[in-house]
Amino acid sequence: MEQTILVLKSGIHGIPIEEYAAAISERVPDADVELARTRTEELEKIPEATVVTSKRIDDELLANAKNMRLFACYSAGYEHLPLAELESRCVAVTNGSGIHAPNMAEQVIGNLLVFTRRLDEGWRRQQNRRWEHFQAHELEGATVTVVGLGAIGQAIVERLKPFGVETIGVRYTPAKGGPTDEVVGFDGPEFESALARSDYVVLACPLSETTEGLIGAEEFDTLDPNAVVVNVARGPVVDTDALVDAVRSNQLRGTALDVTDPEPLPEDHPLWNFENVHITPHMAGHTPKYYERCADILARNLSHVDETGEFHELENQVAGPE
């Protein structure tokens, strides 16, 4: 079944959108791949497209998408999409879940190693040309709690295996198990026990009613003062005021934040001033292979459509025909 695939003009992570169109063309050579570089081109081309791919689609484009059968969202999050309207039009919707897993897991491991070997202290001494010995730690034998066992959490756990650590996984349904040595839920005595035993807590979960404010004043009281918290989830998973208080009062060895609340973090925010708070500007999701992985998912799904003739049971399908 030949498809007409329209790539909308908005890119992501500063990577030229032309690279995405080229990656799709390479993987689906029989498809007619169109790239709309302007709003006018989007409106002109979308009526003929059977597949549309972008981070979002607005009401005007949706109204003109007369032949669309699949909207391939290339972000992992999809709560911003008009899912009800798409479903009413019998449009299947997929997302980019899993494409961030390798790079985000590497960023987490990097942060753990920086805190373990105190590389940040070494960099500070280098800047001041101070040849002074300092003590560090070992990751082997530590207990690492990974909150969220989706694609990112599982990738983190997989990369932790060679380091000889004990792992605790936290997920909505502990009975499902997971790749960690132990699995607990998001609340109750088992979760409290996991925090109390943790040398490192890695937050890699979605933001939801359950996880908003998950790590607050009570949790910082429960953590060992030598514990480290790494957040690559969403800023509001951590209570920012409680985090500032915990750092100020030496309740933590440190924290690495790729996400914050608020975000962007204001220039005058106190979190900028602590040596043991490492901040990156929500860039853990960036990878030069982003579009390649998105195109891989789309290609596999279109192969499935060719085999079945149906736009359902697709990889990463989040809405649409069942």
Strand 228-231 to strand 254-257: parallel, antiparallel, or no bridges (unpaired)? parallel
Burial class from Cβ neighbours inside 10 Å (0-12, 13-18, 19+) for residue 176 reads exposed
- Check 27, 69, 171, 234 and give the catalytic one: 234
Q: Is 124 a catalytic residue?
A: no
User: Which residue in 200, 114, 190, 97 sits closest to 152, CA to CA?
Assistant: 97
Strand 254-257 to strand 277-279: parallel, antiparallel, or no bridges (unpaired)? parallel
Residues 6+ apart with CB under 8 A from 129: none
CA distance 285 to 215: 22
The vertex-229 CA angle with 226 and 233, nearest 5°, equals 175
Structure tokens at 153: 């959490």
CA distance 245 to 258: 19
Strand 32-35 to strand 228-231: parallel, antiparallel, or no bridges (unpaired)? unpaired
Burial class from Cβ neighbours inside 10 Å (0-12, 13-18, 19+) for residue 284 reads buried
Which residue type sits at 117?
R
- Check 56, 282, 286, 300 and give the catalytic one: 282
Strand (E) or helix (H) holding 166: strand 166-170
- Check 18, 60, 85, 263 and give the catalytic one: 263
Q: Is 282 a catalytic residue?
A: yes
**Omega before residue 262 within 30° of 0, cis:** yes
Burial class from Cβ neighbours inside 10 Å (0-12, 13-18, 19+) for residue 262 reads exposed
Q: Is 13 a catalytic residue?
A: no
DSSP state of 143: E
What is the largest distance, in Å, between two alpha-carbon atoms of the chain? 68
CA distance 293 to 22: 13
Which residues are known to be catalytic? 234, 263, 282
